[in-house]
Amino acid sequence: MKEVYLDNSSTTKALDEVIEAMVNALKVCYGNPSSLHRKGIEAEKIVLDAREKIAKALQVKPSEIYFTSGGTESNNLAIKGVAYAKRKQGNHLITSQIEHPSVLEVFKQLENEGFKVTYIPVDKEGHVDLEQLEKSITPETILVSIMYVNNEVGSIQPMEEIVKIVSRHENITLHVDAVQAFGKIPLLPSLKGIDLLSISAHKIYGPKGIGALFIREKTKIVPLFNGGGQEKGIRPGTENVPGIAGFSAAVEVVFKNFEEWTLRMRNLKNHLRNRILTEIDGTVLNGPKDGAPHILNISFLGVKSEVLLHTLEVHGIYVSSGSACLSKKGQKSHVLLAMKKKDEEIDGAIRFSLSPFLTFEDIDYTVEVLKKEVAQLRKYAGR
């Protein structure tokens, strides 16, 4: 059966180069990077090379890259680490209403610990209200955390404007969840005003279980774990060398093909969007037309997204009804709620997330299946 994988914002298929690098780290360079003998030095070289490669991609110093277990840990380390480190300077934190659960849940915990949190609203396309951000800053504000690209609707935040607003206040640290942005959109020059930035390997055709946190020099942060001195004590524990090797390989391939792949994904996305919106009645675009190149969110009115998801699965088409981290909980999308979407639009929302390895034939096949199945499901629902 033909398979069309359109859930690349949940995770991606590992590249052959990634698997090869990981196998080498497991079978050949299997030493502990902290060991002083040859096997340890071989493993340490993999870690050092990866740190340099990721730093080059972000145009930062290798010493500012810290390996973690993924985007969730990077976000937790950044937010809690800064909040605890700067608590004596203030207890006010700012984030947006549409952040990933690995950010929002952290802020909820910090609220329970006595911190004050302001959740900035967004407009109908999922862009942060800059005026509200500026108004929300107080002398007690110590941290602002705003995602670069929204994982559900693909809205790209006006990061350079956010950086300008935050940089006027010396006491505020700026954290950015760039898990859906890294390798998909250019992160510079706005990165120059960002203090911490979270990234993950499995969103860019690398392995699961490995990520990184960029921490600008002199940024105050408290580690979440205690242990050995790995990652300068910020993230102790024996390094995941196979994961780091795979991450490094993914970064090398993705940034070598960056312009070609992002253009291809945008063209595929535009083709999918245009065909759905013009050929299927009762469809609504969620998010901006010119958002991230790989994320498209469309509501099919009169159809339950979970039913449509499983109907498409029968045809070998894999999509999502929102964030993979929340979809199993059966919760309504907090992102679409924040964008003031109607219940019918939220209930029928499907996220298509693309990769450069898809073809226009894959897209056309998906649209033809959608046309047939959406009409059938609406007929059953009596719409």
Note whether 94 and 143 are within 8 A (CB): yes
284, 325, 337, 367: the active-site residue: 325
Indicate the DSSP class of residue 224: S
Task: Name the phi and psi angles at 128, rounded to 5.
Answer: -65, 140
Between CA 352 and CA 199 the distance in angstroms is 21
Select from 128, 167, 132, 133 the least CA-distant residue to 149: 128
> Is 29 annotated in the active site?
no
Backbone torsions φ then ψ of 319, nearest 5 degrees = -130, -175
Q: Radius of gyration over alpha carbons of the chain, in Å?
A: 21
Sign of dihedral through CA atoms 269, 7, 158, 57?
A: negative
Integer angstrom CA distances of residue 120 from 41, 126, 128, 146, 195: 47, 11, 7, 9, 20
Strand partners, 207: none
Residues 6+ apart with CB under 8 A from 295: 9, 149, 150, 151, 152, 153, 154, 180, 269, 287, 351, 352, 353, 354
Find the length of the chain: 383
Report the sign of the C-alpha dihedral through residues 123, 341, 375, 317, in that order: positive
Q: What DSSP element (H or E) covers 286?
A: strand 283-286
Which sequence positions are flagged as catalytic?
325
